[in-house]
Chain A
Amino acid sequence: MTISHHLDDATLVAYASGNLPEAHGIVVEAHVAMCQACRAGLRQAEGVGGAVLADQMEAPVSDVCRSATLASLDAVLVQSPRAKTSQGEVPLVLSRLLNGKPLADLAWKKKAPGFSMFNIPTSKGSKTQLKLLSIKPGAAIPEHGHGGEEITLILKGAYRDHMGLYQAGDVADLDEDVEHTPIVVGEEVCICLVAVEAPTRFKSIWARLAQPFVGI
């Protein structure tokens, strides 16, 4: 898999420090599972976290916590190193969220001709939404500004916008003020995993999506 669009450094830092909203974190994990460059980048960002942890903070821990931990060691299963790779259609983190269902078997909701959506539930407290979009070749996504942090990972197919060609594995991690008009290219249906903040704003963006679909 050749990946040409990667995660923003600001996103890697936010993920490394544990501050990325839930849905965005899942998209990051899915991309990182496919992308060696971002895997290395993430390790670097985590190194900064390690340094901050090592040097900048300390809070005394109670004796109860210490003795309870030491007393629990025997009950802990020791894990041995093992190779963990999945050969699935989608990265493991996503397939777990889909309960192992193939993309084709999901209960897709048709939103417009050539455009369907599937909502992936996130935890109750999360202020983010995770969606799968399925868009047929030739269909265009109308120009829209991004509301809040939005990250899109292409799982299948391809689309093109003024930033270039996005193919499976590529991620569009753009600032909110970047306008773009992706058009699905090639023969295959394009399936993307999208994390968005601010659901109200999201609705307004995708509501505008409904009309100007071309193609099938």
Chain B
Amino acid sequence: MTLLGLAARNVLRNKVRATLTVLGVAISVLTFVLLRTVVGAWTAAADFAVKDRVVTRHKVTFVMTLPRRYVDDVRNAPHIRAATWANWFGGKDPKHESEFFATLAGDSKTFFTVYDDMKVDKETLERFQQDPQGAIVGDVLAKKMGWKAGDKVLLASSIYAKEGDWEFRIAGTYTATQKSVDRSTFVFHWTYLNDGVSIPGLKDQVGWIVSRVDDPSQAATIGVTLDKLFDDKEVQTLSQDERSFNSSFLASVSAILTAFDIISVVILAIMALLLGNTIAMGVRERTTEYGVLKAIGFRNGHIVLFIVGESTFVGLLGGLVGVLASYPIVERGLGRFLEENMGAFFPFFRINPLAALFAFVLALMLGATAAAIPALTASRLRPIEALRRVA
């Protein structure tokens, strides 16, 4: 038996209370890890952005479109190696209304050259380019929907309404070269969209233009030069390197991210209070025992060690349970669900081991600090006072 062994024994003394407290800590740690994972998943998109890509969009908002001929102007600008464009289609499978996936109308010749982190093999690409109604879909989406090459797919669009559904033929799938790429996107011919729209205002319009530049370090400057081209035209543009583009999306959800940050701190604070209360309760019940220990020669520091050790032990157990539980929940359940169903927002929803480690260490540290006040109070009690408490 050691001094810390005694601390551990005290934790297990009241089994119900110990279990509830450990569970409380575990749930806090779990929630903290989940929140950090959400924040991490959203920021990952910005972090993994391809650095030599510049996105040009409507100056006001990326919901508004640009004239198709702007693409040629961009292509002719200096430092631009290649350019393509795409439109949000807002497609949905009428038979599976609840399935959400991104649908893009892109230029069949250049889309996969510029977005080369979406990997398509040569035959698939050729099949796609030769079929005006062809579509290439992410492997994750294809698997989930059970689509195979040659399958006919009907989609309805929330943006490009038309009588009856849009009809596509699956040419094949793309895979991702990095984990930040959404593997649930549906890509088809822009020309098919453009030929099919009936409303004149929607004709010959593109959602955004993406170009690859010859010098990634100059991406920001090149973007400014591009925007100058359209300064005097009827629609002004905003060009950003992809990282900033993603960040501007992040900025639009930054209030949520901040809320998540605050919530995760609040959760930890609640956890510390919960732990502190449990420890204080136990310490109060054991005042006489600490009096006895002091009487037989234990010093203030020993008493602090007992109580802090006890609390740290609870933090350790709770932290361990919380972190261990978060892995199956995220990796098996939630993460897979979000990647498959909300891939556009969470292309990569996995636990950051650092966040898990951080939560665990934090649980330990909070365990230690939560006990600080009861530990100091108990240690400063004079032994005869402590002994008199029950008598």
Bound pair (A, B): no
Q: Which residues of B contact A (CB under 8 A)?
A: none
Q: Which residues of A contact B (CB under 8 A)?
A: none
